[in-house]
Amino acid sequence: MHAMVLYARHDPLRSRQIATDALVAGWVALWVWLATRVHDLVGRLAGPGEDVEGAGRSLADAAGRGADVPLVGRAFEAVADGGRALGRAGARQQEAVADLAVVLGLVVAAVPVAWLLLRWLPARARWVHEATAAAAVLDAGGDERLFALRALATAPLPALRRAADDPLGAYDRGDVAALADLELRRLGLRGGRLSSTGTRL
Q: Helix or strand or coil: residue 200?
A: strand
With a CB cutoff of 8 Å and minimum separation 6, the contacts of 44 are none
Confidence (pLDDT) at 91: 83
Cα separation of 34 and 143, whole Å? 51
Whether residue 171 contacts residue 149, with contact meaning beta carbons closer than 8 Å, is answered with: yes
Confidence (pLDDT) at 112: 94
Confidence (pLDDT) at 73: 62
Cα separation of 154 and 1, whole Å? 26
Whether pTM > 0.75 for this model: the answer is no
Q: How crowded is residue 171: how many other Cβ atoms within 10 Å of its Cβ?
A: 18
Whether residue 56 contacts residue 83, with contact meaning beta carbons closer than 8 Å, is answered with: yes
Confidence (pLDDT) at 44: 84
Confidence (pLDDT) at 11: 81
With a CB cutoff of 8 Å and minimum separation 6, the contacts of 84 are 56, 57, 60
Provide the greatest CA pair distance for the chain: 113
Whether residue 132 contacts residue 5, with contact meaning beta carbons closer than 8 Å, is answered with: yes
Handedness of CA 136, 138, 144, 148 (dihedral sign): positive
Confidence (pLDDT) at 123: 93
Low-confidence residues of the chain, pLDDT below 70? 1-2, 59, 61, 63-74, 76, 191-201
What confidence tens digit (pLDDT) does each residue in 48-70 have?
A: 877 777 787 776 767 666 555 66
Confidence (pLDDT) at 95: 87
Whether residue 128 contacts residue 6, with contact meaning beta carbons closer than 8 Å, is answered with: yes
What confidence tens digit (pLDDT) does each residue in 127-158 have?
A: 999 999 888 888 887 788 889 988 998 898 88
DSSP state of 28: H
